[in-house]
Amino acid sequence: MSKSPGHGPGPAPEPAPVHDVIVIGGGIVGAAIARELSGHTVSVALVEARSDVGDGTSKANTAILHTGFDATPGTLESRLVARGYELLSRYARDAGIPVERTGAVLVAWNDDELDALPGLRKKAEDNGYDRCRLIPPEEVYELVPALGEGVLGGLTVPDESVICTWTTNLALATDARQRGAAVLLDHTVTEVSADDGVTTLHTTGGPVRGRWVVNAAGLGADRIDALFGHERFTVTPRRGELFVFDKLARPLVDLIVLPVPTSRGKGVLISPTVYGNVMLGPTSENLADRTATGTSEDGFAFLLDKGGRLMPALLDEEVTASYAGLRAAIDHPDYLIAADRAQRYLLVGGIRSTGLTAGMAIAEYVRQTLAEAGLDLDERAELPPPPRMPYIGESGVRPYQDAARIARDPAYGEIVCFCERVTAGEIRDACTAPLPARTPDGLRRRTRAMNGRCQGFFCGPAVEQLMSEHGAHETPCHEVTSR
């Protein structure tokens, strides 16, 4: 029987292109790796399960640029944190990422903690950092007068800093895209197959094929590792809850107040933020649910009790927001970075909260490891400069304060979010950027809109209207490639 024209099966679909390297995970570490590799003569795809980069572990942390003074000496982590501090400090200047060099002080509240301080100074020196200083309690109170009673001593770390983790992640991913990487969002990896030297990732966004795969999937890294046939580690989601206090609290805290760390973690800190607020937290709670980013009554009670002892005056200030983040804790004492040459697969697992600082150094290490494993990586002769990111910190000039910029474009003088002083021009730019905001949360991370006292109660409708006008809810964001 003859078939009517136009009703045949049609031509077979074109197979997915084969990338030289696929990087799984659009957090800070994955974005840094994609950026680093894209500076070489290989084709790179960055695959992210969520609808935006930096929407997982990387978006909710303490946002500290660490010197690495308290890392375990001799570990890969200690080496990469120290190198990452150097790389990210320089990159932040080039890309316009907000950083404040506040310094930090570790505070001892009991004899055991006081006795631990000299050992921490020695650990810092073993890590190559020799600027820590033991100080008596009266000097601690000179640095932080609002601390509660009972301080026994302290250890200064003058080069600890606070940074904008949101802008860091976005800058690295944007840089990777400008260097030619494909950014594939809404691509959850469900299965892996290999044939004739090419690995296919079967994802919710379609197949992605590559010659090498780098697993930087954070909380999901062990599950991706299992798809490649390995059983090397298990990720335990560790929830950390935090309070964010109003900007009126900032005079109380001009530097990072750190606890004396334990084997459980670095404990509860009090820290200024680059947005002008003060942060208290995090808690530390191991969970089974990898999506449990909600806050809890127990977490609130713990932070109120801890804050009341550390700095009673802080609890007199208003809490602007509370949030929780999940860290990928594993049963391994160091970063777990290992290549399987036969599978052309590289694991980047066990990257704790220090991954924010170490991300660019991890990317360097991954590039070196891949080269040693046989991947040809010739540096490209010409690269675009780092993207200059919109400035959302408080220590520099924001658009609403820039008269010359407003004169050129009045949209930068039209404030929409009054709590955070975010303008219509910034919202427009965020919705039309190379990696645009497509959700209200994505816009928060790019502009601070709806992130202040009213949490969007007043400005929410106007922000949503502007997002709609600029196509934020219309343009598909499943695949973003270089133009």
- Strand-pair category, 189-195 with 235-245: unpaired
Per-residue pLDDT tens listing for the chain (483 residues)? 334 444 555 666 677 899 999 999 999 999 999 999 999 999 999 999 999 999 988 887 889 999 999 999 999 999 999 999 999 999 999 999 999 999 999 999 999 999 999 999 999 999 999 999 999 999 999 999 999 999 999 999 999 999 999 999 999 999 999 999 999 999 999 999 999 999 999 999 999 999 999 999 999 999 999 999 999 999 888 888 999 999 999 999 999 999 998 655 568 999 999 999 999 999 988 888 888 788 889 999 999 999 999 999 999 999 999 988 888 888 888 999 999 999 999 999 999 889 999 999 999 999 999 999 999 999 999 999 999 999 999 999 999 999 999 999 999 999 999 999 999 999 999 999 999 999 999 999 999 999 998 888 899 999 999 999 998 764 444 455 443
Name the DSSP letter for residue 40: B
CA distance 358 to 354: 6
CA distance 325 to 62: 9
Q: What is the largest CA-CA distance in the chain?
A: 96
First to last CA, the chain: 47
Name the DSSP letter for residue 83: H
CA distance 260 to 268: 9
Q: What is the pTM of this model?
A: 0.93
CA distance 273 to 62: 9
